[in-house]
Chains A and B, each alone.
Chain A
Amino acid sequence: MAVYKRSYKAYQGELTREWSRWTIIPRYGLRGAFRSKFMTAFLVASFFFPLLCLCAIYLRYNFSLLEKINLFGVQRLEIGGAFYWWFVKIQSFFTFLLATFLGPPLISKDLSNNALPLYFCRPFSRVEYIFGKFSVIAGVLSFITWVPGLILFLVQSALAESGWMRANLWIAWSLFAGSCVWIVILALLALALSAWVRWRVAAGALMLGVFFLGAGFAQAINTVLRTDRGYYFDIGSMAGRVWSGLFGTEPQIAMTQLDAWIGLAAVAVVCVLLLDRKVRAFEVVK
Chain B
Amino acid sequence: MSAVIELENLGVRFGTRDILRNLTCSLQGRTIGLLGPNGAGKSTLINTLLGFYPPCAGTARVFGFDIRTQMRQIRTLVGYMPENDSFISDMTAVAFVRLMAELSGLPSEAALERAHESLFYVGLGEARYRKLGTYSQGMKQLAKLAQAIAHGPKLLILDEPTNALDPPARQRMIRLIKEMRDSLAMHLVVCSHLLKDVEDSCEEVVILRNGELVNYSNLEEERRSNRRFLEMEAVGANEEFVEAIESLGCECAMTGDRRIKIVLADSIEVRDIYRLAAEREIQIRRLSYRRDSLEDIFLKAMDSVPVVKPEPRPEVVSGRL
Contact between chains at A1 and B106 (CB < 8 Å): no
Task: Please pick, from A8, A117, A120, the residue contacting B180 in the complex, using a CB distance under 8 A.
Answer: A8
Stretch at the interface among B145-153, B236-244, B289-297: B145-153
Q: CA–CA, A93 to B305, complex, Å?
A: 67
Is residue A113 contacting chain B, with contact meaning CB distance below 8 A? yes
User: What are 25 A-B interface contacts by the 8 Å CB criterion?
Assistant: A1-B116, A7-B121, A8-B121, A8-B183, A8-B185, A10-B154, A10-B186, A11-B114, A11-B151, A11-B152, A13-B110, A15-B106, A15-B107, A28-B95, A32-B90, A114-B82, A114-B84, A115-B87, A117-B86, A118-B147, A120-B52, A121-B82, A122-B103, A281-B52, A284-B14
Residues of B within 8 A of A (CB): 14-15, 47, 50-53, 72-73, 75-76, 78-80, 82, 84-90, 95, 99-100, 102-107, 110, 114, 116-117, 120-121, 125, 147, 149-152, 154, 179-180, 183, 185-186
Contact across chains for B120 and A6 when beta carbons are under 8 A apart:
yes
Contacts A15-B76, A24-B103, A284-B14 known; list 9 others, CB within 8 Å: A1-B117, A7-B179, A16-B105, A113-B85, A115-B87, A120-B51, A122-B151, A123-B105, A281-B50
- B75 near A10: Cβ-Cβ < 8 Å: no
What count of chain A residues pass the 8 Å CB interface test?
Answer: 38
Chain B residues near A123: list those with CB within 8 A: 72-73, 75-76, 104-105
Q: Count the A-B residue pairs with Cβ separation under 8 angstroms: how many?
A: 122
B186 touches A114 (CB 8 A): no
B99 touches A28 (CB 8 A): yes
Q: Are B100 and A122 in contact (CB under 8 A)?
A: yes
Point out the residues of chain B lying under 8 angstroms from A286, CB to CB: 14-15
* Complex interface bits, A270-286 against B, C-beta within 8 A gives 1, otherwise 0: 00000000001110111
User: Which chain A residues in 4-34 approach chain B with CB under 8 Å?
Assistant: 5-16, 18, 21, 24, 28, 32
B103 touches A1 (CB 8 A): no
Determine whether the beta carbon of B107 is less than 8 Å from that of A16.
yes
Q: What chain B residues lie within 8 Å of A114 (beta carbons)? A: 82, 84-86
**Contact, CB under 8 Å: B186 / A121:** no
Indicate whether A110 reaches chain B with its CB closer than 8 angstroms.
Answer: yes
Chain A residues with CB under 8 Å of B104's CB are: 15, 122-124
Residues of chain B within 8 A of A282, CB atoms compared: 47, 52-53
Q: Give A123 to B103 CA distance when docked, in angstroms.
A: 7
Which of A5, A121, A125, A280 is close to B120, meaning CB atoms less than 8 Å apart?
Answer: A5
